[in-house]
């Protein structure tokens, strides 16, 4: 039974690790704000291949310039401090886990981090340029096409975040299949509904045009199929269930 001294030591450890992450984040925040022009050049890189087709970015008010500077610094610092935060969370919780639990958590967290970063860069380097390259075809000839810098920065971070989340789908499907919650018969019966659902999600998550919806929905469905094909990488369902049962029995 834990005593008050044990809870006090746990609280001290949480405060120490949280303070470390907070101080590092503040340092990164100041550094990112100082180098905000370099960050802005990085945000404009996905459009560098379409300099002739994409108009220059503009700001419509003085407040937008200040908002963009702080948003760039804040989001970039959060992105950079995330590995340190994950490390401290893992270091704090790992001693309380069993050996098998630590092994599987390392595998899942490593795969999830890799797929999240992959989805971010795919969103930034593939989806974002495609959206702008198709978007210019819908602008009437008598309308001047201008892109607000504040909206572009928001779109940049949103596309990266959505891409990282969507790329977790193969890992989720593989995990559900390996623990026996998804079977071949069930997948075969529901594959049409999944395909239709991908287009519904694409309709809700993208601008209201057919090309953007297809660009989002087709890769989403391919990620679903990839997760089903890669289910064998996590072992057989029987071994997964046996290990889960053994963990629960302990």
What share of the chain in percent tops pLDDT 90? 13
The verdict on residue 245 lying in a domain is no
* pLDDT score of 247 more than 50: no
Q: At what angle do helices 36-44 and 62-93 cross, to 10 degrees?
A: 90
Distance, in Å, from the CA atom of 250 to the CA atom of 245, rounded to the nearest integer, reads: 9
The verdict on residue 44 lying in a domain is no
* pLDDT score of 244 more than 80: no
* pLDDT score of 188 more than 70: yes
Per the prediction, the chain carries an average pLDDT of 80
Distance, in Å, from the CA atom of 78 to the CA atom of 179, rounded to the nearest integer, reads: 34
The verdict on residue 86 lying in a domain is yes
The verdict on residue 101 lying in a domain is yes
The verdict on residue 47 lying in a domain is no
The verdict on residue 176 lying in a domain is yes
More confident site: 27 or 243: 27
Residue 223 sits in which domain range? 4-39+58-234
- CB contact set of 171 (below 8 Å; sequence gap of 6+): 108, 111, 112, 115, 227
* pLDDT score of 19 more than 90: yes
Q: How confident is the model over 52-77, as a mean pLDDT? A: 82
The verdict on residue 125 lying in a domain is yes
The verdict on residue 68 lying in a domain is yes
Q: For 136-151, how does the pLDDT look when each residue is reduced to its tens digit (9 = 90+)?
A: 776 777 777 778 888 8
Q: How many domains does the chain have?
A: 1
Q: How confident is the model over 171-195, as a mean pLDDT? A: 80
* pLDDT score of 206 more than 70: no
């Amino acid at each position: 039974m834990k005593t008050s001294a044990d809870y006090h030591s746990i609280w001290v450890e949480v405060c120490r690790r949280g303070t470390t992450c907070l101080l590092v984040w503040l340092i990164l925040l100041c550094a990112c704000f100082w180098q905000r022009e370099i960050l802005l050049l990085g945000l404009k890189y996905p459009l560098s291949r379409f300099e002739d087709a994409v108009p220059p970015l503009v700001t419509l008010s003085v407040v937008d310039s200040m908002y963009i500077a702080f948003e760039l610094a804040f989001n970039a610092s959060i992105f950079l401090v995330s590995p340190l935060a994950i490390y401290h969370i893992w270091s704090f919780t790992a001693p309380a886990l069993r050996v098998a639990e630590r092994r599987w958590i390392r595998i899942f967290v490593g795969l999830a981090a890799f797929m999240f970063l992959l989805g971010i860069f795919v969103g930034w380097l593939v989806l974002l340029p495609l959206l702008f390259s198709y978007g210019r075809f819908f602008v009437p000839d008598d309308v001047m096409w201008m892109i607000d810098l504040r909206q572009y920065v928001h779109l940049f971070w949103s596309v990266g975040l959505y891409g990282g989340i969507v790329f977790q789908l193969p890992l989720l499907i593989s995990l559900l299949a390996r623990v026996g919650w998804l079977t071949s018969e069930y997948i075969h019966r529901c594959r049409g509904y999944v395909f239709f659902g991908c287009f519904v999600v694409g309709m809700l998550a993208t601008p209201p045009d057919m090309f953007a919806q297809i660009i989002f929905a087709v890769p989403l469905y391919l990620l679903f199929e990839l997760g089903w094909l890669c289910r064998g990488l996590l072992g057989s369902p029987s071994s997964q269930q046996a290990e889960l049962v053994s963990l629960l029995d302990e």
